[in-house]
Amino acid sequence: MNLAVSRKDETRRRIVETAARLFMEKGVDRVGVDEIMRECGLTHGGFYSYFPSKEALISDACVAALEETAHQWEGLARKLGDDEQWASFLDTYLAGDLVTSENNPACPAAILGADVARRPGKIQDTYVAHLRAVIDKVGEEAGSDRAHAILSFAALVGATSLAAQVGQDKDLAAEILNTTRDELLKCRPAPQRTKV
């Protein structure tokens, strides 16, 4: 393997990961190429040797964040058939400071959703594919129907997004997250098991 190629690939990966983190923290439109490259210890001028445009980086970073989250959701879904595990999952997902990256468990579906919606193409296609997979996996593993899987995912993403939007009002943000958790615990259907 060519060492120069592997270094370039590694640097490109680092730029994508840094961009994804900054986009989650600040939003896509509030982060410039200068900031991303500076965080990576690189100069703005070198950016175009890795990406043809900022839009290309946005696409790659959002797709990477969505793919990582889809894998996490699929792993978590395997534990959701048990009421205690479900409660623990809700505690983890609906916790943390959603304005800063500190203890921020929020998934890109909640934080980057509006940015993804404004950028059709590869990001939209990836988002839809991962969303379908997560809904199917949550319904299957939790032993519930598809409707409840959609309700649960929509409530979690919606609550996290709202809490992030009102993040300066920590009391209201906490109330949104806690109420969503409590209501999801109340409306959990009895698991549907396949008949043998």
Q: Can you give the CATH number for the domain in which 77 is found?
A: 1.10.357.10
Residue 46 lies in a domain: no
Residue 138: pLDDT over 90: no
Residue 182 lies in a domain: yes
pLDDT at 150: 87
Q: How many domains does the chain have?
A: 1
Residue 157: pLDDT over 80: yes
Query: 118: pLDDT confidence band, cut at 50, 70 and 90?
Result: confident
pLDDT at 2: 63
Residue 7 lies in a domain: no
pLDDT at 87: 84
Residue 105 lies in a domain: yes
pLDDT at 115: 79
* CA–CA distance, 77 with 4 (Å, rounded to integer): 40
* CA–CA distance, 128 with 110 (Å, rounded to integer): 14
* CA–CA distance, 13 with 77 (Å, rounded to integer): 28
Mean pLDDT (the chain, rounded): 80
Containing structural domain, residue 128: 59-186
Q: What is the pLDDT of residues 8-62, one digit of tens each?
A: 999 999 999 999 989 888 888 889 999 999 999 999 989 999 999 998 899 889 8
